[in-house]
Structure 1
Amino acid sequence: MPNRLVEQAQEVAKEDIDKYKALLNDAAKSRSYLYPIKGIFYFMSHRELWKPLASKLVPYLGLYASVIGPMFFFTYLPQLAIMVFVNGPLAVLTTILLVLNESAAVVSILSKSLLLQDALLDTFDGTLIAKNKTEIVASGREVNSRGDAIQKLGKALKKPFSKFSVKELVRYFMYLPLNFIPVVGTVAFIIIRGRARGNSVHDRYFQLKGWSASRKSEWLSKHKGPYTGFGTAATLLEMVPVASIVFSFTNTVGAALWAADIEGKDTEMTKATAPELREAAKKVE
């Protein structure tokens, strides 16, 4: 009986590993993980996109300091004591990564609920306008005819970015124990967070396109790899202390650049599904 259980456990583990291998392979082929990097360079070269960030920088830094300081003071040593047993000498580094991860999750949830929602929305829409996708933005907000990409943004008619999510917080702490598995567990934890993050990066784009919940779910299901790749890269960037707010905005720019390329059928996944997208557009119309 014990041997049978071991065999079943090994079989399940192999299936899960194969699934993640396929997922990562799709992510690599799509090159979606490059969009957060593209977002950095595009953001740096378009000064008008700095305005939403500048308006939120001071209050965000105050929030970040109020979270990361207590997190290290109260949680680093207790978690280090546990991590030493599973990670040995690497525990010092893996515990720092763990606390940064925890702090980033708390700050991300609070900031996007309390501070950054409108600023990130403006950044996403402003990037689409800068990429000459004004007609898409106009379906979700008023657009002025003069000024730069941000100045053209009028009143938002729809706001898709979600506020505080209890499920997101529960899911985070549910998978947190993975970090007690040396190296591999931490990597798996980041990928899982990246996959969850990836599922929300195009909420605004789907809304502007008028996609139904079922259409959105179908699209995300078919392109798990690319969205996991983007979400994982974005998650890693936002784990950088203090600079995480900047990367929140550059990741938003990257997501908008990706949306613009999808709209222009200029990605690997849309080249293969262009007829499908046209059919979806007809259904919306």
Structure 2
Amino acid sequence: MSSHISARAQQVLKEDIEQTLALAHNATKSRSYLYPFKGMLYFLTHTELWKPLRSKLIPYLTLYSGVLGSMFAVTYIPQLTLMAFVNGPFAVFTTAFLVVSESSTIVNLLARNYLLRDAIFDTFDGTLLSRNAGYLVAQGREVKTHGDVIERLGKMLRKPFTSFGINDLIRYLMYLPLNIVPVIGTVAFLFLRGRARAAHVHERYFQLKGWSISKREKWLKDHDGPYTAFGIVATVLEEVPLASILFSFTNTALWAADIEAQETSPIENIASRLLGAQGAK
């Protein structure tokens, strides 16, 4: 009996290791973890994309500083007392990371659903326009023919989905105690948080494509590795003050534009070959 259980345990462990390795391989191959950095660079070098953010920058800074200051004033000492039992002298740093993470979650919940909601979707759609995917944007809103990519954005035809909801907050609170375990717990926390982001990364893109819920779920399942890698990097970068707002605006749109280009390029290649063949005749 014990030998059977041991053999079964080894089989399960082997399967988990193989799945993890496959996940890591797919994530590395996709290079999706680079998009948070690409998003910031693209945002900084395309000044027309700054417009939706400009009017929201001061309110966002006020919100962020208010939440961060309040969290450190109210929760740092109580959490430090708890963390000191587990992390010893390192508790000073792990507790600070924890408070920043908690503050970022609160700010994201408020900013993405209220303060920055329209600005985020405007910049997402504007980025798609700048990457020659205007036909896709037109599935969700009116697109004008004159002006820069932001000025061309018209009335919304499809209401964008909520990017951060109560379920995300519940998951965050569930994963939060993992930070009590030194190093391994924090790594597990970042991994689970990153993986949980997968369902929201391309909600707007899926909406513009008109995909059904089942098709979205299949896509996310088939590309679990890339989305997890992207989510982990994006989660880590959110701990950097101000960085999260810059990364959030363009990274997912750039990735969506590249996915769209890969999906349409084979059709374009076939058309080119057909035209070439007709010309030869």
Q: What is the deviation of 1:230?
A: 1.1
Partner of 2:90: 90
The structure-2 alpha-carbon separation of the partners of 1:41 and 1:90, relative to structure 1 and needing over 3 Å to count, comes to same
Q: Is the 8 A contact 1:117 1:161 kept in 2?
A: no
Aligned to 1:113: 113
- Could you tell me which residue of structure 2 aligns to residue 194 of structure 1? 194
Give unpaired runs (5+ residues) of structure 2: 268-281
- 2:253 aligned with 1:261: no
Shift of 1:104: 0.7
Deviations 1:135-156 (A, max 9, x none): 0101110000000010100011
Q: Measure the CA separation in 1 of the matches of 2:15 and 2:96.
A: 31
- CA shift in 2, pair 1:93/1:21, >3 Å: farther
Q: C-alpha offsets along residues 75-101 of structure 1, whole Å, 9 cap, x if unaligned?
A: 112112222222223222111111111
Moved more, 68-77 or 122-131: 68-77
Shift of 1:36: 0.9
Residues 99 and 15 (structure 1), Cα distance of their counterparts in 2 relative to 1, 3 Å cut = farther
The residue identity in structure 1 corresponding to 2:261 is G
Hey, what's the Cα distance between the residues in 1 that align with 2:244 and 2:175?
Answer: 22
Unaligned runs of 5+ in 1: 276-285
Question: Which position in structure 1 is the counterpart of 2:49?
Answer: 49
Asked whether 1:28 is paired with 2:28, we answer yes
SS of the residue aligned with 1:199?
helix
Question: 2:108–2:164: 8 Å Cα contact kept in structure 1?
Answer: no
CA distance in 1, matches of 2:21, 2:101: 24
**1:1-285 correspondence runs (5 A):** 16=16, 19-162=19-162, 165-249=165-249, 253-265=250-262
Query: C-alpha displacement at 1:70, in angstroms?
Result: 1.2
- For residues 136 and 29 of structure 2, what CA distance do their matches in structure 1 show? 27
TM-score (norm: length of structure 2): 0.86
Residues 157 and 171 (structure 1), Cα distance of their counterparts in 2 relative to 1, 3 Å cut: same
Provide, for residues 153-201 of structure 1, a one-character-per-residue CA deviation record: whole Å limited to 9, x for no partner: 0011113231662211111101111101111111111111111113211
Call closer, same or farther: CA 1:39–1:163 in 2, change over 3 Å. Answer: closer
Give 4+ residue runs of structure 1 displaced > 4 Å after superposition: 1-18
Distance across 1 between alignment mates of 2:242 and 2:44: 18
Distance 2:139 2:28 in 1: 33
- Distance across 1 between alignment mates of 2:75 and 2:222: 39
Q: TM-score, normalised by structure 1?
A: 0.85
Deviates most, 73-82 or 45-54: 73-82
- Of all paired residues, the percent bearing the same amino acid is 58
Cα displacement (A) at 1:17: 5.5
Structure 2 vs 1, CA of residues 213 and 87 (structure 1 numbering), >3 Å: closer, same or farther?
Answer: same
| Equivalent-residue separation in structure 1 for 2:96 and 2:14 (angstroms) | 30
> Following TM superposition, by how much is the alpha carbon of 1:8 offset from its aligned partner in structure 2, in angstroms?
8.4
